[in-house]
Structure 1
Amino acid sequence: MSGIRTYQDLGKLVTRLRDDLNDKELVLLYAYNRTGKTRLSMEFKDRGKRRNNGKADTLYFNAYTEDLFIWENDLENDLARGLKVNYNSKFFDGFTNLGLEPTIDEYLKRYASFDFDIEYKEIQLADESFSKPSFVIFSKAGHVNIKISRGEENIFIWCMFMAICERILDGHESYKWVKYLYIDDPISSLDDNNAIAVACDLAILLRRAAHRKGENGAPAPIKVVFSSHHSLFFNVMCNEIGRSKEGEPSVGHKRYFLHRPNDEGRYTLRATEDTPFFHHVASLAELQKASELNTGTLYTFHFNALRSIMEKTAAFFGHSDISFCLKALDDDENRALFNRALNLLSHGKYAIHEPTRMGEDNQELFRLILNSFIFRFQFDLPEILGGSSTVITP
C-alpha cells in the first residue's frame, strides 16, 4: 500500500487492519490523541465477536482496561487503601490457576520500587468455584497500604497485562481463545521519561508473539495491533521491531500514520514503511528542547532517544548502524568520543518515576553530539505535523 487511503468509518478501517493481519504478524499505528484509537480498538474487538458467534478473539489493553481497577481510599478508616478489581472480566480468568504474581513482580521491578499483594475472592459460577483477584494493596520500605500515584497505578496494570501476555504465548488453557492482541497507548498516563525501557520490553514480547509455535511445532503467531500517540515510544517500537536480530526471523509488519482529517468520521492511513518517519524528527525536536541550557532538563535516557534517531537516520540512507552518522562528522577525535558515549550511555534500565539527571559533563557531551548531528543532517519537519515545513538548525 502506498500513499494515503481513506476509510469512511471505523468498520471499514477494521476490515483493512484485519486483512493486513492475514499475512502480517503486526500492525503499528501512530495517531494523535482524539483520533479515535480507543474506539478503533473496541470496534476491532467487536468484529471478532460478531465473526465468532459472540466469542471473543481479542485481548485488548486500552482505557477500558484501566477502568477495571478502581482506587479505594477507605475514607472511614483510612487503612485499607488499594485497588478494587472488577473480577467479572475475562481479563482475569488466568489468575485462578496460573500464579501470575511472580511475573508481574518481575516486570514491575524494572520500572518502579513498590511492592504489591493481591487478595482473592471465591466466585461461584454454576457448580464451580473460582478464585479471582478482588483487591490489591501496595507497600514500600516497610509501609503497607500506601497510596501510589496514578502513574504507578497504571504501570502496575500494564505489568499485569504483560504477565497475562506471557501466559497467552505459553499456550495456557485460560487464554487459548486469544488470537489477537490490541494494545492502545500503554503509557498514556505515565511519565514520558522512560518510554524507551517499556517499549523495548514490549517489543521483545511482540517478537515472541510473531514467532510463536503451536504444540506441533507449526507457526501459531498471536497477531497484534499496536497504536500510540507518543512519538518517542512509537519511534523505539519501530526500531526494535524493524531491526534484524541474529538467529531470529524478521517480524512481518506494517506501519501507518492514522489520521482523522475532520469530524465527519472518515479516517486516513498513510503507509510509512518506505518514507521518512516524521515522528523521529518530532522526537529530535523534543531532544533539542530538553537540551536548551536555561530551560531544558536532560536525563540519562535521552542518550537512548538520540541513538534511536541516529539508527533510523542511518537506515534511511541504507546503512546498518549509527557509524554512518558518526562518519559524517568531520572531527575524528569527536567521532570516537561520540561513539563511546552513545554505546556506554544509551543502555540500561531506568525507573519510570525516578529518572536520573545527567551530570554536567554528560550534558555538555550530549549537546555537542546533538548539535553536530543536527548541523550535519538538515531535517525538515513534515507539513503533516501542522504548519509549514521547518528546518531544524543548531
Structure 2
Amino acid sequence: MSNPPKVHKFKSLKSLATRLRSDVRDIDCVLVYAYNRTGKTRLSTAFKDAGKKIGKDGQVKSRDTLYFNAFTEDLFVWNNDLDNDTDRYLKINEASSFFEGLRSLALEVDIKGYLSRYADFDFDIDYSKWTVSFRKGADDKIKISRGEERIFIWCLFVAICDRVVAGLDSYSWVKHLYIDDPVSSLDDNNAIAIACDLAALIRRAATRQDDKGEPAPLRTVFSSHHSLFFNVMCSEMGRTQEGQQKVSTKRYFLHRPDADGTFTLRATNDTPYFHHVATLAELQRCVKEDKLYTYHFNALRSILEKTASFLGHDDLRICLAGLDDEALYNRALNLLSHGKYDITQPVEMVDDNKDLFRRILSDVLDRFKFAVPDLAPAEPAKKATP
C-alpha cells in the first residue's frame, strides 16, 4: 500500500505563497483546489505581493504577476443612471497596472472573439472616458447580469494574456499568471468551455519562446472551488496531443483546518476526489469539536445528492433506504437543509439537531465506506513554516 501524500503545514499565507513561488520555478502550472472561505483570493494577493519590489519612496518599482481574482472585478464599477435609467455603463479604473497599454492594444476584436463563445451581447469601450457600455440587438446601454459581466471581464483578461504570451512590451514585466476562480457565477456549460480555453492559454504560456527561439515560459498558478471546472482543467492540462510539448503540472488540495490562520497543502493526483470527501472530513471535525451550525445540513444534503447521482439515481433517498431511521433522516434533510443560511454569520444547531446530524452522518459513513482523508498530519506536526 502506497504512503499517503505528505501534508505541508503553513502558519501564514505569506509562507504558503513562498511555497507556490518555489514550485513554479520548475513547474509550468500549479493547480490548487479549495472550497470557499479557505483564503484563495488572499493567497493570490500574497503571491502577487511577493513579486513586488518597493523603492525607498514606498512606490512599486517592479512586479512580476498578472492576476485574475475578486479584486479584478472590482476594477469595474457600474453607473446605473438612477435618475433616468438610460445611460448605464461600467467605469474602468484606468489607474490600475492591469490596464497598462490597454488603449494601444486594440483588444476589442480579440475580446469579441472570446465573448461570442459564451454570450450573445456586444460592447463598446470609450477610452476617452474609460467606460464600457453594452448592447444586445436594438437595445443599447443595457444592464447585463452579474454572470455576463464576469464573462466580459474574463474575456478582457484572456485577451490581455494573449498579448502577454505574444511578448508585447507593455506587459514584458509579467513572469507569472495567477488565476483564481474565474467561474463562480457561471453555469456548467460555460465553465467547461472556459476551462478548455484557459488550458489552451496556459499551454501557450508554458511553451512560449523568445525572438531567438529560446524557451521563455510564463508560469501559472490556478485555484478554484468549482469541482467541475477544476476537473476539466486537470484533464486538459494532463492531455498532450501529438506534436504538443508536455506541460508539467502539480496539483494540491488547500485546506484550513482551524480558525487560527494555519493552512495545509496536500499534493494529489486525483481530480478532484477531495471535493466531497474533504467536506465529509470537515463535517467529521465539526462533530468531534461540537461546532455544528445550521448550514452543515445543506453541506450533508449536497453530498448525498451527488452520491445518489453518481449511483444513477435522481433522489437522495436512495442513500438512506433501509436505514433504521430512514423516514426521520429524510424528513430532517428536507426540512433542515432548505434554510437560507449565511455561512459568514453561522447559527449553531440546537442540541436535538446536533444529535440528529451526528446520527445521519455516522450512518451514511458506515454505509458507503468513504475513504475520508486525514487533512491534518497523522503524526504530531513539526514546527510550521514561519
Aligned pair partner of 2:41 in 38, 57, 66: 38
- Write the distance in 1 (CA, Å) between the matches of 2:307 and 2:136: 33
The answer (yes or no) to whether the contact 1:232–1:279 under 8 Å persists in 2 is: no
Pair 1:270-2:277 in alignment: no
- Aligned equivalents of 1:51, 1:238: Cα separation in 2: 36
Aligned 1:219-230 pairs, distance under 5 A: 219-230=215-226
1:24 aligned partner: 27
Aligned match for 1:172, one of 161, 168, 188: 168
Q: Does 1:146 align with 2:153?
A: no
Matched, 1:251 2:258: no
1:299 is aligned to none
> Measured at CA, do residues 116 and 247 of structure 1 come closer, stay the same or move farther in structure 2, by a change above 3 Å?
same
Distance change >3 Å, CA 380–CA 150, structure 1 → 2: farther
For structure 2, the 5+ residue unaligned runs are 278-302, 317-366, 376-386
Could you tell me how far apart the structure 1 residues matched to 2:146 and 2:114 are? 18
Structure 1 residues 381 and 143 mapped into 2: Cα distance closer, same or farther (>3 Å)? farther
Once the two structures are TM-superposed, the CA of residue 286 in structure 1 deviates from its matched residue by 3.8
Structure 1 residues 51 and 20, CA gap change in structure 2 (3 angstroms) = farther
CA distance in 2: counterparts of 1:139 and 1:15, whole angstroms: 44
Percent of aligned positions that are identical: 56
Cα displacement (A) at 1:35: 0.5
AA partner of residue 62 (structure 1): N
Whole-Å separation in 2 of the counterparts to 1:62 and 1:112: 21
SS of the residue aligned with 1:22? coil
Per-residue CA deviations over 1:202-234 (Å, capped at 9, x if unaligned) read 000001111010111111011110000000000
| Secondary structure of 1:97's aligned partner | helix
Q: Does 1:204 align with 2:200?
A: yes
Preserved CA contact (<8 Å) 2:253 2:274:
no
Separation (CA, whole Å) in 2 of partners of 1:54 and 1:117: 33
1:261 maps to 2:268: no
Do the aligned partners of 1:281 and 1:379 also contact (CA within 8 Å) in 2?
no
2:86 is matched by which residue type in structure 1?
Answer: L
How does the TM-score come out when normalised to structure 1? 0.69
How far off its partner does 1:288 sit? 5.0
RMSD, matched Cα: 2.6
CA contact (8 A) 1:115 1:140 kept: yes
Q: How does 1:298-377 map to 2 (within 5 A)?
A: none
Give, as a single letter, the amino acid of the residue that structure 1 aligns with 2:143: K
Structure 1 portions without partners, runs of 5+: 122-132, 296-377, 387-394
Matched AA of 1:94 = G
Distance 1:120 1:56 in 2: 25
Once residues 116 and 287 of structure 1 are traced to their aligned partners in structure 2, the CA distance between those partners, rounded to angstroms, is: 42
Q: Which amino acid in the other structure matches residue 372 of structure 2? A: E
Matched letter for residue 100 of structure 2: D
Q: Does 1:194 align with 2:197?
A: no
Cα pair 1:235 1:280 within 8 Å, conserved: no
Instruction: State the distance in 2 between where 1:385 and 1:75 align.
Output: 52
Q: Does the aligned pair in 2 maintain the 1:38–1:62 contact within 8 Å?
A: yes
Q: Aligned AA for 2:39?
A: G
Amino acid at match of 1:257: F
Change in Cα spacing, 1:104 to 1:218, as seen in structure 2 (3 Å) is: same
The aligned length equals 292
**Quick one: which amino acid aligns to residue 72 of structure 1?**
N
SS in 1 for 2:186: coil
Q: 2:294 is matched with which residue?
A: none
Matched, 1:100 2:69: no
Alignment partners' CA distance in 1, 2:313 and 2:94: 48
Structure-2 change in CA distance of 1:89 and 1:272 (3 Å): same
- Secondary structure in 1 matching 2:42: helix
Q: Judge conservation of contact 1:24–1:252 (CA < 8 Å) in 2.
A: yes
Q: 1:70 aligns to what?
A: 77
- Structure 1 residue 284, shift from structure 2 partner: 11
Whether 1:383 aligns to 2:378 is no
TM-score, reference length from structure 2: 0.70
Q: 1:244 to 1:288 in 2, by over 3 A?
A: farther
Given candidates 11, 15, 18, the residue that maps to 1:12 is 15
Shift of 1:26: 0.8
